[in-house]
Amino acid sequence: MHRDYSIDIITKTCSSLLTSDPVPETKKKPFTVHEVELLWQNQAAPWVDTVLFFLYTGFRISEMLALKVSSVQDQDGILVIVGGTKTEAGKNRMVPVHSRIVEIVKRHIQLSKSGYLFEYNGKRISQPQYRNLWGGVMDRLDSHHTPHECRHTFRSRLDSAGGNKVCIDRLMGHKSSGTGERVYTHKTLTELQATIELIK
């Protein structure tokens, strides 16, 4: 027997029975403009320059500690750092070196004995070692931030400066949300450099 489905009527809305937890708000606090300037004023103090490196690259702590001297490359006249882990979009991404930290990067290249960009006593730094050194910097400057808050600061400052969303995603190692942005939008190193230089 043939059934005519065109007259079926839906009387129950099952979606009303679905529930989900609210999206939690982040407790991460970006560095203030004053705190960033305080870091620049104290950049000669031990390990302060690594905090500035975080703030101007957006790398995660694991990514930063894995960087080698060879990760710093000249790409068509633009100094970039090739690194990143965790996600497909984040692996081996190119982050142009901001003009304010060029000398910091060059100094660490010259001082490296292990081949890693950041080292402790001539060897690669472990995360526990670095977090201990980080704590010393925060105590010295009477500040209370985590390394990951540098990443939040990086994105917030780019967004506030009007940075291109796709460029910001590329620099952060995030996959852009829209299909068109992911598939059809290509950004050059020059555009990425112009975006990162929006940070003051």
Domains and CATH numbers, the chain: 28-175+190-196 (1.10.443.10)
Residue-level pLDDT at 61: 95
Using the predicted structure, report yes or no on whether residue 186 has a pLDDT greater than 50: no
Rounded-to-integer distance, Cα 51 and Cα 110, Å? 19
Residue-level pLDDT at 193: 94
- Average pLDDT across the chain, whole number: 85
Residue-level pLDDT at 70: 96
Residue-level pLDDT at 92: 78
Show Cβ contacts of residue 63 under 8 Å, excluding neighbours closer than 6 positions. 83, 84, 85, 86, 90
Residue-level pLDDT at 84: 77
> Stretch 126-155: mean pLDDT, rounded?
96
> Stretch 155-169: mean pLDDT, rounded?
95
Residue-level pLDDT at 4: 58
Confidence class for position 173, pLDDT limits 50, 70, 90: confident
What distance lies between CA 176 and its chain's CA centroid?
14
Using the predicted structure, report yes or no on whether residue 22 has a pLDDT greater than 60: no
Token pair, residue 175, equals: 């996959």
For 127, the enclosing helix (H) or strand (E) is helix 127-140
Confidence class for position 178, pLDDT limits 50, 70, 90: very low
Rounded-to-integer distance, Cα 32 and Cα 38, Å? 10
Q: Measure Cα distances from 39 to 23, 36, 45, 127, 141 in Å.
A: 33, 5, 9, 21, 8
Rounded-to-integer distance, Cα 176 and Cα 73, Å? 25
Q: What is the dihedral of CA 42, 80, 168, 117, to 10 degrees?
A: -50
> Stretch 16-32: mean pLDDT, rounded?
64
Residue-level pLDDT at 57: 97
> Stretch 22-49: mean pLDDT, rounded?
86
What pTM did the predictor assign? 0.80
What distance lies between CA 63 and its chain's CA centroid?
9
> Can you tell me whether residue 93 is helix, strand or coil?
strand
Token pair, residue 19, equals: 């529930």
Residue-level pLDDT at 17: 54
